[in-house]
Structure 1
Amino acid sequence: MPTIEKRGKNSFRARVSVMEHGKQKQVTKTFATKSEAKIWAHQQEVLKGKGKNIAKREDTFADFFETWVYTVKRNDVRTATFINYERTVTIVRSLFKDIKISNLDDLVVQMKIDEYGETHSRKTTTEVLLKIRTAIHYAYARGLLDNDFGSLVKTRGKELEKRNKALSMNDMKTLRNYLLSHTEDEFNIIALIALETGARRGEILGLKPDDISSNGIHINRSISPTNDDTRLKTAKSKRTVAITDEVYTIIRSVQPKSNGYLFDPDGFKQSQRLKKLLAKLELPNTTFHGLRDTIASFLFSNDIRLDYVSKMLGHSNLQTTMNYYLELMPEKKHQQEADALNLLSSLSD
């Protein structure tokens, strides 16, 4: 049976006995009134009757999150993704500190996410929240939470200016012409492949001579700057992307390195080199992902089918490409809406 102890003028401590690993353990919580203490103690007894592990509910959420990352997610995700989870452990510890699982609810998590969003972009904040939501769902499945409230928490981070902006068609042409005429520098060939195929930087650095044929470049692996894992981002990332005869000839001229790859990672400084090149050509700044956006925008604007672009980019599903399309081509969305309304209106003619 639970016990209630008076702990001062306006303090009452409720104590509940639980069994953990075959040993008796006391779970306690202090309240301002005796009635609150009784309600809590009764709730804990009910949870015990349902087989819930109320002792573990007194662990901090930060401890639980770290344990979950290293025991569950380690074997669920790619090495590169796991590194992101490890970084999130530090973020969760900084945000939640000593907050116990038993004190966690959607309002507490929302407050912490809002706090994080004050100094981070909406995209980054969303990525952190998604990991926290997954941990909350796991805690609920384990009986450590009464509700799976993660979906109630929303991201309200800052909307920062997008870094990987697509180049205009004129700027794309200027950059492409320069890269084609300066292939003596292997960096320019890497940038050319990115601009022509939409391949990710790691996928280009992972190319070997056998991956190049008259049919295109065969993407089978990806090189990471943080680990030795060469697995691709998704199963659909393994693909063949067609290239022009001109680009095929250029790639074939590259001498493989001693490790079997076509290109030297060069300390993974390609982003810095791209920035300098764009400044030299007096073109707007973008990233390697921006080159991927550029070829996608070029194809979308010329009405190339979504399923073709999806396969070329290695998206996991067509919905990802559709979201990509709507982000890059908002004016197309508005035009299609107008066309659809005109069609409906024509029915009454």
Structure 2
Amino acid sequence: MAYYEKLNNSKIRARIYIGEGKLKSKSFSNKTDAKRWAIENEQAKINGVKIASRDELFTDVYDEWFHDIQAPAIAESSFKNYYNAGRINHRLFEGYTLSDFEDLRKIQTVLDEYVKTVAQKTIEEYLKKIRRVLRYALLQRKITHDITRALKAHGKKSSKKVNRALTMTEFNKLRSYLFENIDVKFNVLVLLATETGARRGELLALTPSDLLVDSFEVSFTKSLSPDSDDLSMKTVSSERTVSISERVFNLVKAIPANDKGRIFDDDDFKQAGLLHDLLDHIGIEQTTFHGLRDSHASYIFAKFGETNMDQAIMYISKRLGHADIMTTQKYYLELMPESKMKQDALAIDFLNEAQ
């Protein structure tokens, strides 16, 4: 049975008995909300839910489930994935209780905002972990019902390849715009991406000491991630030095380090959205930072020419930090779209002659 009390500040305090001689209370601006809260908790108690558990923080329950249930039974690589998901929990759901996770609309709204900054696959993998921990909470009678099946990864799926290489025309158009607008730090970041073919995390981790003044080279020895404090590179071969033009080198060198000692700001890792807006403003079909990496490799392929393809593969493999040249051949063997069209035309002419 619920009890209601009007406080001096005109708020209504609702109290319910939760067992073991304990009361649970909460204050509301009106009696309607107070009654709704009391009814929800009374119903939960009837259903066998531990009422006090509904006030537990979701982040705490995830950590409990992860360390007690998951960690002892998973491989090291999986451990890191679950650990990183816990870090995401603190970014998205800090202060959220288990009772909040019975409100589908509230949780879906948070996820819909998160999906704007990450890939579709990322949100799908993260959702799997949320579903598992909420099912654990349900089995422990910490929540009244399971909303996991209704939670959706509402990211946009496109039939077009997202990580596409820019055409030669687009590549030159983008760089021309960036050189004309170097007063924006993000533009210099994108310019360096086209100049080096480096991964986003490698660019964001750069510090002034990584700029080798005597040789106009950039040293890549670490990578910044939104989900981990680990700055290690993807592979051992990823550590490399990349030569760039003196012009771009000086633009990067002129940027003062931020309060974290890095050249570029992480911008809460929203570079995907910033790049989308930039390309849209310039009038270039969308791609990603990995697409810029592809564009850099394809541009160099085109400049080497088809007669020097083996030499190009060896050079690009080292420049991009691939573990072996097979990776380079697999992902970058196709040249710029213009070159492919030219090759297609030559092939058609050859087949016509063979008739």
Tell me the TM-score normalized by structure 1: 0.53
1:315 equivalent to 2:353? Answer no
The answer to whether the Cα contact below 8 Å between 1:293 and 1:328 also exists between their aligned partners in 2 is no
1:147 maps to: none
- The one-letter amino acid of 1:263's match is F
RMSD: 3.9
Contact residue 71 and residue 79 of structure 2 kept, 8 A: no
Q: Does 1:229 align with 2:236?
A: no
- 1:70 to partner: Cα distance: 3.7
Distance 1:174 1:333, change over 3 A: closer
CA deviation profile, 1:9-28 (whole Å, cap 9, x unmatched): xxxxxxxxxxxxxxxxxxxx
Alpha carbons of structure 1 residues 89 and 196: separation in structure 2 relative to 1, 3 Å: closer
CA contact (8 A) 2:164 2:291 kept: yes
Structure 1 residue 285, shift from structure 2 partner: 1.1
> CA 1:327 to 1:70, structure 2 compared with 1: closer, same or farther past 3 Å?
farther
For structure 2, which runs of at least 5 residues remain unmatched after alignment? Answer: 1-66, 86-121, 133-152, 305-310, 351-355
Residues 296 and 309 in structure 1, CA contact (< 8 A), matched pair in contact too? yes
Contact residue 73 and residue 82 of structure 1 kept, 8 A: no
Pairwise CA distance, 1:208: 0.5
Shift of 1:68: 11
Would you say the 8 A contact 1:79–1:229 is kept in 2?
no
- Change in CA separation of 1:333 and 1:246 when aligned onto 2, cut-off 3 Å: same
Are the equivalent residues in 1 in contact too, given 2:166–2:336 (CA < 8 A)?
no
Alignment of 1:289 onto 2:290: yes
Which residue number corresponds to residue 198 of structure 2?
A: 199
Check 1:253–1:94 CA distance in 2 against 1; reply closer, same or farther (3 A cut).
closer
| Alpha-carbon separation, structure 2, partners of 1:81 and 1:334 | 47
> In structure 1, what is the Cα distance between the partners aligned to 2:195 and 2:73?
39
1:81 and 1:301 map into 2 onto residues whose CA distance is: 42
Q: Distance in 1 between matches of 2:75 and 2:280?
A: 41
Q: CA, structure 1 residues 322+73, in 2 after alignment: closer, same or farther (shift >3 Å)? A: farther
* Match of residue 263 from structure 1: 264
Residues 1:302 and 2:303 are matched in the alignment:
yes
**Aligned match of 1:220:** 221
Cα separation, 1, equivalents of 2:246 and 2:322: 25
Question: Residues 1-349 of structure 1 correspond to what in structure 2 (within 5 A)?
Answer: 70-71=71-72, 74-76=75-77, 79=80, 83=84, 91=128, 160-214=159-213, 215=215, 216-303=217-304, 305-327=312-334
Which amino acid in 2 is paired with 1:316?
A: A
Deviations 1:10-51 (A, max 9, x none): xxxxxxxxxxxxxxxxxxxxxxxxxxxxxxxxxxxxxxxxxx
Task: Note if contact 1:278-1:285 (Cα within 8 Å) is conserved in structure 2.
Answer: yes
- Specify the alignment match of 1:25 in structure 2: none
**Counterpart amino acid of residue 176 in structure 1:** R
C-alpha distance after superposition, 1:265-307 (max 9, x if no partner): 0111111111111111111111111111111111112226101
Aligned partner of residue 219 in structure 2, secondary structure? strand
- Same amino acid, percent of matched pairs: 36
Query: Are the equivalent residues in 2 in contact too, given 1:257–1:264 (CA < 8 A)?
Result: yes
Tell me the distance in 2 between the aligned counterparts of 1:239 and 1:92. Answer: 35
- Secondary structure of 1:302's partner? helix
3-state DSSP of counterpart to 1:305: helix
Q: Offset at 1:69?
A: 7.5
Q: 2 CA distance for matches of 1:281 and 1:298?
A: 20
Whole-Å separation in 2 of the counterparts to 1:82 and 1:301: 42
Amino acid at match of 2:242: V
**What is the CA–CA distance in structure 2 between the aligned matches of 1:288 and 1:81, rounded to whole Å?**
25
**Is 1:213–1:248's contact at 8 Å kept on the other side of the alignment?**
no
In structure 2, the CA distance between the partners of 1:94 and 1:228, relative to structure 1 (3 Å rule), is closer
What SS is found at the alignment partner of 1:241?
Answer: strand
1:326 shift after superposition = 3.1
Q: Return 5+ residue gaps in structure 1 as ranges.
A: 1-65, 96-118, 121-157, 343-349
Distance 1:333 1:184 in 2: 37
Q: How has the CA–CA distance of structure 1 residues 78 and 68 changed in structure 2, closer, same or farther, with 3 Å as cutoff? A: closer
The structure whose RCO (Cα within 8 Å, separation 6+) is larger is 2
CA distance in 2, matches of 1:71, 1:327: 45
- 2:82·2:129 contact (CA, 8 Å) conserved in 1? no
**Contact between 1:80 and 1:224, CA under 8 Å: does it hold in 2?**
no
Secondary structure of the residue aligned to 1:217 is strand
